[in-house]
Amino acid sequence: MMEDAAKPTAMETLLATLDLEPIEVDIFRGRSPQVGWQRVFGGQVIGQALMAAQRTIETERFVHSLHAYFMRPGDPSVPIVYQVERIRDGSSFNTRRVVAIQHGKAIFALSCSFQIEEPGFDHQIEMPDVPTPEKLLGEQQIKEQYLAHAPPAVRKYWKRERPIEIRPVSLTHYFSDRKLDPRQDVWVRATGPVPDNRLYQAAVLAYLSDMTLLDTSLYAHGTSIFDQSLQVASLDHSMWFHRPDKLTDWLLYTQDSPSASGARGLTRGSLFTRSGVLIASVAQEGLIRKKANE
């Protein structure tokens, strides 16, 4: 009983994962939670690489954009070494490049830019009119009402404890092979407290930005990332941080996929607060390939 009481929550585990170990000047070591995944979740690598870069930036300068490439799958059984290169330190902007290394090879590369806070023109697109999260099924209700007859891969996904709770506005995609419009709206929120610290808030937001995106590019084809005949993987990921948020409430992640071709699918995303403030924009291209017949 004592062991259960001491077991960290999924959010506590994520925060510990983002708290990188410094091993040399501008070199950090990150570890992965041992949850049975065959490869490291892409959002974890984005969040850790961003945290490594942030730890080389002086205070009062915050990330405004990042651009990353996934090159090899991450091995969750061994640490990831993050090497930060200080590309530029200017009067208003700082630029960093981060390479993630495992087994002597680069698995991921990220470039990011930081800026002092300053006033300027201000506008944003409007948040879509969708049901609030309280009007949607929670994860426990989804498990009770739908999972008994869901495919094994879907059941495994929904039963795993995660640091980010998701409430899709529509569940059709998970339980149907209908071809749908390539867009979705998903409410997301942290399942535990996020520190009142902009470095952690940005890293957690980067972590969750990799959730559900790739799946949206499959909506128009009547399939999903749970289809065992598909090979799916993130190829690149870009993110723009518009306005800070403490991540204490639900966020609406609205997504659309303007194109799929050449075994790749592109998805765009916008993250809004409940009150409609646009805090970040995302774009990602992923591999969506039919596996060769065995």
Can you list the alpha helix ranges (DSSP code H) found in 55-196?
139-146, 152-159, 172-175
Instruction: Please report, to the nearest 10 degrees, the dihedral formed by the alpha carbons of residues 112, 65, 63, 126 taken in order.
Output: -170
Provide φ and ψ at 15, rounded to 5°.
-60, -40
Classify residue 161: in a domain, yes or no. yes
pLDDT digit string, tens, across residues 113-153: 999 999 999 999 999 999 999 999 777 777 666 666 666 66
pLDDT digit string, tens, across residues 229-245: 889 999 999 999 999 99
Write out the catalytic residue numbers: 210, 234, 284
Q: What is the model's pLDDT at position 35? A: 66
Residue 159 three-state SS: helix
8 Å CB contact between 239 and 281 = yes
Residue 1 has pLDDT above 50, yes or no: no
Q: Report the half-sphere exposure of 153 (CA within 13 A, side-chain side).
A: 10
**What's the Cα-to-Cα distance from 82 to each of 30, 85, 114, 124, 258, rounded to whole Å?**
7, 10, 18, 34, 33
Q: Which residue has the tokens 């993250």?
A: 271
Residue 86 has pLDDT above 80, yes or no: yes
CATH classification of the domain holding 172: 2.40.160.210
Residue 2 has pLDDT above 50, yes or no: no
Q: Average pLDDT in the 146-171 region?
A: 75
Q: What is the model's pLDDT at position 127? A: 98
By mean pLDDT, which of 5-9, 40-44, 102-106, 145-149 is the weakest? 145-149
pLDDT digit string, tens, across residues 245-283: 999 999 999 999 999 999 999 999 999 999 999 999 999
Residue type, 162: R
**What's the Cα-to-Cα distance from 90 to each of 114, 153, 154, rounded to whole Å?**
10, 48, 48
Query: Tokens in use for 101?
Result: 């290394």
The span from the CA of 53 to the CA of 43, in Å, is: 15
Residue 79 has pLDDT above 80, yes or no: yes
Classify residue 121: in a domain, yes or no. no
Residue 213 has pLDDT above 50, yes or no: yes
The span from the CA of 94 to the CA of 117, in Å, is: 12
**What pairs with residue 207 in β-bridges?**
none
Report the predicted TM-score, pTM, of the whole model to 2 decimal places: 0.92
What proportion of the chain, given as a percentage, has pLDDT over 70?
91
Classify residue 124: in a domain, yes or no. no
8 Å CB contact between 197 and 257 = no
Q: Average pLDDT in the 62-75 region?
A: 97
Classify residue 156: in a domain, yes or no. yes
8 Å CB contact between 281 and 67 = no
Range of the domain at 59: 10-116+133-290
Number of structural domains (the chain) is: 1
Q: What is the model's pLDDT at position 294? A: 46
Instruction: Please report, to the nearest 10 degrees, the dihedral formed by the alpha carbons of residues 106, 77, 83, 288 taken in order.
Output: 40
Classify residue 43: in a domain, yes or no. yes
| Centroid of chain to Cα 229 | 24
For residues 157 and 163, the model is more confident at 163
Residues in the chain, total = 294
The span from the CA of 243 to the CA of 8, in Å, is: 30
Per-residue pLDDT band at 191 (split at 50, 70, 90): very high
Q: Average pLDDT in the 49-74 region?
A: 96
Q: What is the model's pLDDT at position 236? A: 98
Q: Average pLDDT in the 87-96 region?
A: 96
Classify residue 95: in a domain, yes or no. yes
Classify residue 126: in a domain, yes or no. no
Please provide the DSSP assignment of 98-115 as one string: EEEEETTEEEEEEEEEEE
Mean pLDDT of the chain: 91
Classify residue 123: in a domain, yes or no. no
Name 108's Cβ contacts closer than 8 Å, sequence gap at least 6.
45, 49, 68, 69, 70, 71, 72, 74, 99, 100
Q: Report the half-sphere exposure of 237 (CA within 13 A, side-chain side).
A: 25
Q: Report the half-sphere exposure of 109 (CA within 13 A, side-chain side).
A: 6
